[in-house]
Amino acid sequence: MGHVAELAGVSVRTLHHYDQVGLVRPSARTAAGYRAYSAGDVERLREVLAYRRLGFGLREVAELVGDPATDTVAHLRRLRALVLERRDRADAVVAAIDRELAARAKGVKVTPEEQLGMLGARLYDTIGGAYPATRRTDPRIAAQIREALGDARTVLNVGAGTGSYEPADREVTAVEPSAVMRAQRPAGAAPCVAAAAESLPFRDGAFDVAMAVSTVHHWGDPLAGLREMRRVARRVVVLTFDTDEPGWQDRFWLTRDYLPEFASVLADFPPLAAMAGAIGARAEPVPVPWDCADGLFEAYWRRPEAYLEERVRRAVSVWTKVGPEAEQRAVRSLGADLGSGRWAERNSALAGLGAADLGLRLLVA
């Protein structure tokens, strides 16, 4: 045990603890009859330590290494993907810190609004590369947004990302703080300014309409950003999410049964009424079609298997925000319920529905 502890760089106490809780048991015996670690035990210990170093809790690690469907190669693949994801995240944070240090060294003042605004951009500089895989314009949601835009000729699209929902027949200016997202805008897309909603670099009333789609929840100060939109445009159209209704977490089976942590992601998000009040807007429901083409968090409410796909989850920030532990647990538990038929049993009422109201709202002011 002492030898293995030294090799693995952990204390003998840790190994004793893993033994006691049944996580890694020394299953071999030495010639003198002492318990010893077999090659298989050491392999398992390596997996346990790697998951622990990635921040998984002991219970979670036990489930991960105990999964009979996962062999060593599958573990190594999963670990590799997790480590790369962490590295990308850390690289993006380092890049953002370097940018801010460079700005400060030049004496450029970074306002609190900009600092907060850049938080959302930092996230998208990290995860944005996975966005275009599944996030694109859904024609039915686009039609509802178009209707709200009315006859506006000049359009400001705030938090524009890769340009979904930007009307092709208007004069569009995009605002997007994440360099990664700006770089993924298709050739020929509207011109895009690097700025954040909280301090829009435009004069009062510069646009007929300002629109924002699936972005307000990323802003450091949503109400300040909405007021800015109101300042620079005569009309404001915002696709956002309603958390006012008590028990809103239960509207969607994914948050109700598998990912209750979603509530904490939106814990500081302003109530819909406050957002509507900030810009004098009315709110209308935006039903999510059963075959929604935009892979938003709620998009696959009638296609639950999609949530088991890594590329589907990586294009939605919620999964990064709840952290790998909650994500893996939710996915495993959903996978099990799909396999056993429990999901279908619980959600049989959804089978024939064409669209569902899952809390998406269009604010129109």
What whole-number distance in Å separates Cα of residue 279 and Cα of residue 229? 8
Q: Residues 51, 124, 241, 301: which binds ligand SAM (CB under 6 A)?
A: 124
Q: Residues 44, 75, 78, 218: which binds ligand SAM (CB under 6 A)?
A: 218
Handedness of CA 61, 89, 239, 145 (dihedral sign): negative
Should residue 61 be labelled a site residue for ligand SAM when binding is judged by CB under 6 A?
A: no
Residues 322 and 262: beta-carbon distance below 8 Å:
yes
Should residue 222 be labelled a site residue for ligand SAM when binding is judged by CB under 6 A?
A: no
Torsion of CA 176, 178, 184, 186, to 10 degrees: 10
Closer CB to ligand SAM, 36 or 189, in the complex: 189
Question: Which range binds ligand SAM by CB under 6 A, 48-56, 94-102, 153-161, 230-238?
Answer: 153-161
Residues 364 and 285: beta-carbon distance below 8 Å:
no
What whole-number distance in Å separates Cα of residue 200 and Cα of residue 192? 12
Should residue 270 be labelled a site residue for ligand SAM when binding is judged by CB under 6 A?
A: no
Question: Which range binds ligand SAM by CB under 6 A, 79-87, 170-178, 306-314, 353-361?
Answer: 170-178
Residue 292: CB minimum distance to ligand SAM, A: 12
Question: Which range binds ligand SAM by CB under 6 A, 17-25, 43-51, 92-100, 177-185?
Answer: 177-185
Should residue 120 be labelled a site residue for ligand SAM when binding is judged by CB under 6 A?
A: yes
Report which of 211, 195, 206, 209 is spatially closest to residue 232, judged by C-alpha positions. Answer: 206
Answer left, alpha or beta for residue 202, where phi above 0 means left and psi between -120 and 50 means alpha.
Answer: beta
What whole-number distance in Å separates Cα of residue 226 and Cα of residue 219? 10
Other CB atoms within 10 A of residue 289 CB? 18
Should residue 160 be labelled a site residue for ligand SAM when binding is judged by CB under 6 A?
A: yes
What whole-number distance in Å separates Cα of residue 1 and Cα of residue 11? 10
Q: Residues 149, 158, 272, 364: which binds ligand SAM (CB under 6 A)?
A: 158
Should residue 295 be labelled a site residue for ligand SAM when binding is judged by CB under 6 A?
A: no
> Which positions from 182 through 211 interact with ligand SAM, judged by CB under 6 A?
196-198
Site for ligand SAM, rule CB under 6 A: 117, 120-121, 124, 135, 158-161, 164-165, 176-178, 181, 196-198, 213-215, 218-220, 225
